[in-house]
Amino acid sequence: MKTAILGAGLTGLTLARLLREKGEEITVLEKEKEIGGLCRSKTEEGFTFDIGGSHIIFSRDTEVYDFMCGLLRENRDTRDRNTKIFYKDSYVKYPFENGLYQLPPDDRFFCINEFVKNLIALEKGELKEPENFREWVYYTFGKGIAESYMIPYNEKIWNFPTEKMSHHWVEGRIPRPPVEDIIKASIGIETEGYTHQSVFSYPVKGGIEALIHAIAEPIKNDIIREFCVRTIKRDKDGSFIIGNGNEEIRCDKIISTLPPQILLPCMEDVPEEVISACRDLKYNSIACVGIGVKGDLNDISWLYIPQTELGPANRISFPSNYSVEVSPEGHSSILAEITFNEGDRISAMSDEEIAESAIATLCRMGIMKSPDDAVYKTVERFDYAYVVYDTEYQNNVKIVRNYIESAGIDPVGRFAEFEYLNMDGCIRRVLDYTKDLS
């Protein structure tokens, strides 16, 4: 039996590798010249940037973590996380609730007082159950932490009103902070949040794409590049015919890692209800700005920026603090991430304007002294970056997924399943999928 895998990103390549190990005949179809999807990296003038956003290797899932680290072998180093939030011109420890002691006194009181008031109200049964993400943030953290950081940052990165977002996805992704940690943090006793990423791994050379090539090595001859799927038809014998407008490929089974917005137009006679549900699925695009500068900058891993007045960049990472091999000697690197949607102000900006905006943000924050400090810059955009969980998400995604599966196509991965999965989440879905086939 021949299986066609649509998309040569992290999920598609991991699927292909594991299915090949099981002895299956596979072909991977990738529309781009390069493989990797959001896990691609770009090396130019001695700088290496992860152009689909900053990626690190971590996981609570030891099987997945060992899988990734085992592939990189000696091309792997570890770092202690040193992550900050830029708050009122100062650096606050991340997560925000673990850095309360670093806030100005009035802000610190606001956060802890509202947290305690909220906790008392919760114990008395005076709080109604949250119906959306915004209400969940207030319900969980109290007004102080919500308004100081959680709401402004989340509305910036999601580019979407938090009151119109579902909260079904937060469990496991945004941990509920222990009460003791909040109290300790408010009086200056060190605590750690998100401990599963307090130590992370990263390739020494090649950026995150080094992991992609390590995964793809045994199946590189099974990948057809620059094959943009345009049609998917079912033959009388039940097999599939996949076309790109110039050639066709036959297979017995299809596994798709493509967003449904790309997959459904390739399929025949899709019902209007499914088309409408797919149209209503929300997502963000991303622009990633890589900047090379002379000299050392800091020892920060990555940095969150909730303030809109500092510019549209929501997260700044420092790849040269992940590996000494990703920037030339005597230089440092910065990666700024900006989410946007088609038709908004950012989407209308040129790459040069986006780069200038990111550099202006860095200068306002004091990370760069002058725009002239930039010796290299690059901008890369990806249409599909983040799944947005609006309040209608669960109904719409169920309609879309059910139809795709009923057509005999298995959706696997971040955008095929239309779920906000990290790298380890994508690999876990592949491991579970291939185990179920046994």
* Per-residue pLDDT at 178: 83
pLDDT interval class at 174 (50, 70, 90): confident
Token pair belonging to 249: 């490929």
Q: What kind of architecture, by CATH, is found in domain 2-37+209-281+390-436?
A: 3-Layer(bba) Sandwich (3.50)
- Give the whole-angstrom CA distance, residue 40 versus residue 35: 7
Q: What's the rounded mean pLDDT across residues 258-287?
A: 98
For the segment 17-26, the average pLDDT, to the nearest whole number, is: 97
Give pLDDT, residue 193: 72
Q: Report, as an integer, the average pLDDT of 127-154.
A: 96
Burial 69-90 (b: 16+ CB within 10 A, else e): eebbeebbbeeebbbbbbbeee
Q: Would you state the pLDDT for residue 154?
A: 97
Q: What is the pLDDT of residue 438?
A: 64
Find the mean pLDDT for residues 145-168.
97
Q: 277: closest CA among 419, 421, 398, 390?
A: 398
Return residue ranges of the chain for CATH 3.50.50.60.
2-37+209-281+390-436
Q: Provide the whole-model pTM.
A: 0.95
SS3 percent helix, strand, coil of the chain, rounded to 5, is 40, 25, 35
H helix intervals, 148-279: 151-158, 179-187, 209-216, 260-263, 272-279
Distances (CA, A) of 375 to 94, 99, 230, 371, 381: 30, 34, 41, 9, 21
Q: From CA 314, how far away is CA 374, in angstroms rounded?
A: 20
- Higher-confidence residue of 195 and 276: namely 276
pLDDT at 150 over 90: yes
Residue 436: the pLDDT is 81
pLDDT of the residue at 351: 98
Confidence tier at 192 by pLDDT (50, 70, 90)? confident
Region 405-413 average pLDDT:
98
Q: What is the pLDDT of residues 312-352, one digit of tens each?
A: 999 999 999 999 999 999 999 999 999 999 999 999 999 99
**What's the CA angle centered on 368, arms 366 and 373, to 5 degrees?**
155
Q: Given pLDDT bands bounded at 50, 70 and 90, which one contains residue 266?
A: very high
Q: For the segment 193-205, what is each residue's pLDDT rounded down to a tens digit?
A: 777 788 999 999 9
Closest CA to 79 of 99, 60, 56: 56
Predicted confidence at residue 69, as pLDDT, reads 97
pLDDT at residue 317 in the model: 98
Q: For residue 158, what pLDDT is reported?
A: 96
Strands 2-6 and 253-256: parallel
Rounded to whole angstroms, the Cα distance separating 366 from 298 reads: 11
**Higher pLDDT, residue 73 or 192:** 73
Q: Average pLDDT over the chain, rounded to whole? A: 96
